[in-house]
Structure 1
Amino acid sequence: MESSHAARRRHLPTSPFKPPSPAPPAKVFDVRDQVTHDKYGLGRVVEVEGAQAVLVDFGTQKVRIVAPFSRLFKL
């Protein structure tokens, strides 16, 4: 029987295995940052909605990209 929520396992100091790596830091974007996206290409951040989403102008279209920004990279 599995629980419905994912619980983080604790690392015992006597364990022979390495502790899990910490979560990577969240990506932070500012207005006018130049970015690249795996699908849409080069663009510029137009609007930032906190840590939830960003609006990016890719020239031909404006796309709202929600967190986590796994395919969006700051240049």
Structure 2
Amino acid sequence: MSSSHRARPRHLASSPFKPEPEQVIEEYVVDDRVSHDSHGLGRVTHVDRVCVTVDFGDRSVRVPSPFAKMSKL
């Protein structure tokens, strides 16, 4: 069984490079107002473990996690 999450490499304290920052994935609930870079303003209608469904007025779109182009208003 494979996981969709990538394992983070171990960061050594003696390394001259900074560790990659933790990716923060926003959590949405039904009726949240959102803004999407491609689709515009919308309202969350369904929340799933790996995606959310957003009603943008003329269409409903399933947006997969990590929601890179979408932000909560």
* Residue matched to 2:69: 71
Q: C-alpha offsets along residues 13-33 of structure 1, whole Å, 9 cap, x if unaligned?
A: 233333x13312221000000
Provide the C-alpha distance between the structure 2 equivalents of 1:42 and 1:15, rounded to a whole number of angstroms. Answer: 43
TM-score by length of 2: 0.78
Gap runs ≥5 in structure 2: 1-5
* Residue matched to 2:35: 36
Provide the C-alpha distance between the structure 1 equivalents of 2:28 and 2:46, rounded to a whole number of angstroms. Answer: 9
Identity %: 49
Structure 1 residue 10 corresponds to structure 2 residue 7: no
Provide the C-alpha distance between the structure 2 equivalents of 1:27 and 1:45, rounded to a whole number of angstroms. Answer: 13
Gap runs ≥5 in structure 1: 1-5
* Structure 1 residue ranges (4+ consecutive) displaced by more than 4 angstroms after TM superposition: none
Q: Which has the larger radius of gyration?
A: 1
SS of the counterpart of 1:46?
strand
Aligned length: 68
TM-score by length of 1: 0.76
